[in-house]
Structure 1
Amino acid sequence: MYISMADRTGGRKNSGATGTQTLPGPGVAFRLSPVILWLGIVSMATDISSESVSAILPLYVTGFLGLSTIAFGFIDGLNQGVSAVVRIAAGWASDRTGHPKRVAVAGYGLSMLARVGFLFAGGFWAITGIVTGDRIGKGIRTAPRDALISSAAQPEHLARSFGVHRMLDTVGAATGPLLAFLILLFIPNGFSTVFVVSLAFAVIGVALLVLVVPDRRTPRTAQKPDRARPPFTWSQLKDAGLTRLLVTAGILALLTVGDGFIYLVLQDRDSFAVQWFPLLYVGTNVVYLALAVPLGRFADRWGRIRVFLGGHGALLACYLLAAVPFGGLGVTVACLVLLGVFYAATDGVLAALASRLVSPDKVATGIGAAQTVVALCRMAASAGFGILWFAVGAPAAMTTAAVGLAAALVAAAVLMRTSRAQEAGA
């Protein structure tokens, strides 16, 4: 079991069923590492690239290309989960080599190359192949990048440090859809222009990562660079706390509908103009941007598990509002706010939880395992929701998802009950 740095930094240490974690102690001031700042800027540029495309993809697939919701569900499932194919392998490679930056560069580079394909794509299979390549790149880069953040962060302020990174990341996630909106506003059906802008920002992100971010090595690997490591097996992550976290995250992710579907439900109900569609992504990401750091800090102080489950409660409320027969600006904005709260309360917090439940030389692998479970389950959720929408319609499909998520939250609360009782926060 990983023993935290609290004994040497003055933080308070809590041990429980979910592993050892560090809580803020007296006199431990928060300091942001330049590594985290630069990684946030890299993610910001990359998210401008990826989210400008994601913001138009639902309309591009169902409107411009004229494909069905089943087809979009398949593509959105790939967008949500195909990265899971390589996340653990990338995390293990990062841990084994001790050079997480090198693995991250490979992932960011592959996503950049995939952006070129959007300039020439014109059908279902072409889009499927490009999305697959892009998401595999995301799967390769995510765990090594988060391992860099974990190694550079103060243990007492881990979730807050992840929150700072996610805040910068979300600046890009909000800017990308805004750029897509402006392009479509002035250039009707200007999807190709969006793809060109996306490629440009992907190149900027890779250049910054290569030229500015240092290649930090994990402490144990730095001490024993020639240490032989066995191939990855799931038994390396066999820990009661981590296992419960993976099961809990997986159950909840199975009922997590992709953003694109939620926005299509809102657009289908309210019938607002197509060019306004990307602004839905902007609204969600602005809320995420505003709350990523405060909720990360709150999670460090009051409990990471509590905040993680609370974020899914916000998602449940979003489903219920999306399912009601009446709409309007107020209901739509409320949905976007709740969706932003969900991401701010779960994204960085999940990585912070996973990183404290493994030993220092397995941080990227542990984070990758958690992200893999979530990604695979969300892929299944998106594909299933597309079929459900096609079969029963948007309102009934949304209601079904809400009922399922409510039941999943009850199961998750039971699974994590022991951890919450034994720890002051997780």
Structure 2
Amino acid sequence: MRSLTWSSFEVDCLSVTRKAYLGILLFGLISLFGDIVYEGARGVLPTYLELLGASAFLVGLVFGLSDALCFGFRLLSGYVADVTRAYWVFMLLGYGLIIALPSIGLASGLWLVIALILTERVGKALRTPARNTLLSVVGESVGAGKTFGLHELLDQVGAISGPLIMALLLRYVKDFNLSFIALYAPYAALALVLFLTYKTLKSFVSESIKQRYKFDKASLKSMPKSLWLYIAAVFANTMGLIHVTLMLYKAYNYFEAWFIPLLYLVVQAVDAGAAPIAGWLYDKIGRKILLVPFAISMMPSILALTGGREALIAAMVFFGLVLGMQESVYRATIADLAPLERRGLAYGLFDSAYGFGFMASGMIFGFIMTTAIPLIGVIYSIILELSALTLLSLSLVIKK
């Protein structure tokens, strides 16, 4: 049997379905290595910032602002990617900026570390709408739910590996700077797979977009009402969901520094299991599956704010369930609601709502944790999540 190589000629000889799965695999490997770097760093950064002197409010502000930059800037990058069709350029540049995170190991001082965190988030803003658009085209023959679910599964292999690697490094090397520097290794693997993906799939994806792409500025004003309601629902949903970095910040009250990345690993492991199952259910029953993550999104806030060690772990499990569905069916919904010529912009709008929602969440819950009035946070979370459920329900019944 002839072996499969990475040449463009042989890829062109594959069936459409095999091309789709190959594309999903390659995009998944890119995200896998990227998440080893990103999630590995993210699992220890709240503790590292706390050791550098940051308060709970500052940690919430930094990661809230980073999410706002990351997700809010996607509105512009998604629009420009649609206009220019330079999806690969945005993806390559955005993944390149992940190098900021290993560079934290070479930085000195709280504010320089914060600047590097924000730099990487700008990179994610550049790459994600373009990557999601390319991935949706690659996996069109497979189905949006399965495409994003399988991609998220591979993504989560990296998301689990990253915190585990950092926990082992901190446990045995006992040095934050060296642990961050070690992340240059998976970054190099990311760069290699990114180059292979570009060389392998560029012609196939570009031709598919060229055949069906009809960009019209007037069409930007005619997004379906169901999409706008859904985006508003996502905004309320993330505003009422406590940021995971604040849970990790609180975990330092109960656990040693090296153990905290393992708690983040729990989040990622639950995410990894939830994403493909949610994607499969999405393809079977449609957008109604979104009612599940919206309904349980208040649980992390309630448990993290009112309980102790065990409740905090339970909160992270619930957060992982919600996160797995956010990364799969939340994204798949955009692919179904927005046509291809508006999809980059639609993902930008979605990501902006998601990011600004988490920015508000980070600041509000960070302030609540600093002032130690958990009941306010519980009431706030319940009100926001009920509002999100109402908006989501409206988006489900409106056809256009």
Fold similarity call, TM over 0.5: yes
Match of 1:172 in 2: 158
1:248 matched to which residue of 2?
233
Residue 136 of structure 1 pairs with residue 125 of structure 2: no
TM alignment of 1:263-282, pairs within 5 A:
263-268=248-253, 271-282=254-265
* Structure 1 residues 32 and 235: CA distance shift in structure 2, 3 A: closer
**1:323 is matched by which residue type in structure 2?**
L
Deviation at 1:344, TM superposition (A): 1.4
- For residues 247-297 of structure 1, the C-alpha deviation after alignment (integer angstroms, 9 at most, x for no partner) is 1111111122211112233443xx222221110111111111122111111
Q: Tell me by how many angstroms 1:237 deviates.
A: 5.5
Q: Deviations over 1:291-328 (max 9, x none)?
A: 21111111222232x33332133332222222334444
How big is the shift at 1:120? 2.8
Which residue in the other structure is 2:10 paired with?
none
Distance 1:154 1:411 in 2: 33
Is it true that 1:201 corresponds to 2:189 in the alignment? no
In structure 1, what is the Cα distance between the partners aligned to 2:34 and 2:208?
30
Unpaired segments ≥5 residues, structure 2: 1-16
Q: Give the letter for the 2:277 counterpart.
A: P
Of 286, 292, 299, which residue of structure 1 is paired with 2:269?
A: 286
The reply on whether 1:308 has 2:290 as its aligned counterpart is yes
1:319 aligned residue: 301
1:162-197: CA deviation from partner (whole Å, max 9, x where unpaired):
010011111111111001100111022x11122112
**C-alpha spacing 1:198/1:240, structure 2 compared with 1 (3 Å):** same
Deviation at 1:346, TM superposition (A): 1.9
- The answer as to whether partners of 2:226 and 2:396 remain within 8 angstroms in 1 is no
- State the SS of the aligned residue for 1:142: helix
Cα deviation per residue 1:94-117 (whole Å; 9 max; x = unaligned)?
2223342222001101222x2354
Deviations 1:334-374 (A, max 9, x none): 32321111111222212111122222112122112101111
The CA distance in 2 between the partners of 1:177 and 1:104, in whole Å, is 24
2:333 aligns with 353
Q: Which amino acid aligns with 2:50?
A: T
Question: 1:85: Cα distance to partner?
Answer: 4.2
Shift of 1:155: 5.8
Measured in 2, the distance between the counterparts of 1:280 and 1:140 equals 29
RMSD between aligned residues: 2.6
1:73 aligns with 2:60: yes
- Name the CA distance, whole Å, in 2 between partners of 1:223 and 1:31: 17
* Pairing 1:92–2:79 present: yes
For residues 389 and 351 of structure 1, do their structure 2 counterparts lie closer, same or farther at Cα, with a shift above 3 Å needed? same
Find the counterpart in structure 2 of residue 335 from structure 1.
315
- Aligned pairs (5 A) from 1:84-163: 84-112=71-99, 114-115=100-101, 117-154=103-140, 157-163=143-149
Deviation at 1:219, TM superposition (A): 6.5
Q: Match for 1:47: what amino acid?
A: D
Deviations 1:118-165 (A, max 9, x none): 133222321221111100000111111111111112366211210100
1:410 equivalent in structure 2: 386
The answer to whether the Cα contact below 8 Å between 1:44 and 1:168 also exists between their aligned partners in 2 is yes
Deviation at 1:220, TM superposition (A): 7.4
The 2-side partners of 1:314 and 1:139 are apart by: 27
Instruction: Give 1:54's match in structure 2, choosing from 36, 42, 47.
Output: 42
Segments of 5+ residues of structure 1 without an aligned counterpart are: 1-28
Instruction: State whether residues 244 and 316 of structure 2, in contact with CA within 8 Å, keep that contact through their aligned partners in structure 1.
Output: no
- Using the aligned pairs only, state the percent identity: 22
Summarize the Cα distance change of 1:224–1:32 in structure 2 as closer, same or farther, 3 Å threshold. Answer: closer
Within 1, Cα distance between the matches of 2:224 and 2:298?
Answer: 29
Q: Which residue of 2 aligns with 1:38?
A: 26
CA distance in 2, matches of 1:326, 1:293: 31
**C-alpha distance in 1, partners of 2:266/2:304?**
15
CA contact (8 A) 2:64 2:361 kept: yes
Alpha-carbon distance between aligned partners in 2 of 1:81 and 1:422, rounded to the nearest angstrom: 29
Deviates more, 1:280-289 or 1:71-80: 71-80
Q: CA deviation at 1:31?
A: 8.9
Encode CA deviations 1:6-36: one digit per residue, 9 max, x unaligned.
xxxxxxxxxxxxxxxxxxxxxxx99952111
Task: Give the aligned partner of residue 5 of structure 2.
Answer: none
Mark the CA change 1:384 to 1:405 in structure 2 (over 3 Å): closer, same or farther: closer
How many corresponding residue pairs?
A: 381
Instruction: Indicate if the aligned counterparts of 2:144 and 2:336 stay in contact, CA closer than 8 A.
Output: no
**Which residue of the partner structure matches residue 296 of structure 1?**
279
Partner of 2:7: none
Alignment counterpart, residue 376 of structure 2, candidates 395, 400, 420: 400
List per-residue Cα deviations over 1:187-213 (Å, max 9, x = no partner).
22x111221122221232122112234
> Taking structure 1 as reference, are residues 99 and 67 closer, same or farther at Cα in structure 2, changes over 3 Å only?
closer
What amino acid does structure 1 have at the position aligned with 2:140?
Q
Q: Given residue 86 of structure 1, which amino acid in structure 2 is its aligned partner?
A: F
Report the Cα distance in structure 2 between the residues aligned to 1:78 and 1:200, rounded to whole angstroms: 28
